[in-house]
Chain A
């Protein structure tokens, strides 16, 4: 399902057997279950009432529970719910008036500032409350994108960071969040980031090999090499962590 939907759907994996977090991480690495679209936790965000695993809860784009069921038996329903939500993402909720739906669609196309400005410009009248509410919702989503960019830079995920920074720089022009985007873009392109980028590239090579072939002697050797050569960088520290975790 992750391959089918890519970054259109967010996957959150919750380890529900009380395994130690470091063991969970090791397990996930060994199984090559890592992907850019998956987040992992050992912390249960809500109760499901289920007696066994695997179990699945599908949340809609506004956090509403759509499905709470076994992922094997409810596979068809899960896919149908996701498809319906993806349509909703494109067009916006049915109850939106035409100008609000247009703002929603502009936001989804990456025209963040245009969308938010058009909502702020809605005059007093029947649409005003809904426009303010939607403006708050979309502003939070824009801020979540900035948080993601901050995380990508800290995690030395430069390929994804470069793409997101370019997208935000284009779409935020004229909005109050533009300054923050510029600040992060400056960080990303700073000369001082060159060693970080070099280290990230070296680690990426090892990670790709790990995803393709699993964890073998070559991967462990590669992690150690990145860890030693780029010890002071973020990617180097991550390589050290992975090498220790996997027993290199």
Chain B
């Protein structure tokens, strides 16, 4: 069982709110996605970019807490 860490995320939120996050591309079917995360991921398993996930299918779930 791995548990999440939150260090650095407050800074991430500030950066994103300030509009400093990099422009993101549109996930069109057939296009190849690349992205390097600006802040550490929770339970990252050493992953820093989408490229690090290649070799396995990846399910990206967008969800909310409210």
Q: Which residues of A contact B (CB under 8 A)?
A: 1, 8-17, 19-25, 27-29, 34-36, 38-50, 53-68, 71, 78, 81-82, 85-86, 89, 137, 140-141, 144, 147-152, 155, 157, 160, 204, 207-208, 211, 238, 241-242, 245
Contacts and interface: CB of A to CB of B under 8 A. Distances in A.
A147 B45 CA distance: 8
B60 A14 contact: yes
B2 A36 contact: yes
B59 interface: yes
Interface of B: 1-7, 9-10, 12-13, 16, 21, 24-35, 37-39, 41-48, 50-66
Contacts of A12: 53, 58-61
B6 A25 contact: yes
Contact of B57 (A9, A22, A242): A9
B39 to A, nearest CB: 6
A53 B62 contact: yes
7 contacts: A20-B13, A28-B4, A41-B37, A47-B27, A59-B50, A68-B28, A71-B61
B3 A238 contact: yes
Contact of B32 (A9, A62, A208): A62
Given A20-B9, A22-B9, A45-B35, 14 more contacts: A11-B59, A12-B59, A19-B64, A20-B13, A21-B9, A21-B42, A28-B4, A40-B41, A40-B42, A41-B41, A45-B37, A59-B53, A147-B47, A207-B3
6 closest A-B pairs by beta carbon, nearest first, are: A21-B9, A151-B46, A17-B64, A147-B46, A85-B57, A40-B42
A13 B63 contact: yes
A78 B60 CA distance: 11
Nearest to B29: A65
Contacts of B63: 13-16, 53-54
B35 A39 contact: no
Contacts of B1: 34-36, 204, 207-208, 211
B30 A45 contact: no
B6 A241 contact: yes
A78 B59 contact: yes
A85 B50 CA distance: 17
Contacts of B46: 144, 147-152
Given A68-B29, A71-B61, A155 B2 contact: yes
A174 to B, nearest CB: 21
Contact of B10 (A22, A57, A67, A148): A22
Contact of A54 (B7, B54, B62): B62
Contacts of B9: 20-22, 24-25, 42
Given A22-B6, A43-B21, A53 B59 contact: no
Given A19-B64, A34-B1, A53-B62, A61 B26 contact: no
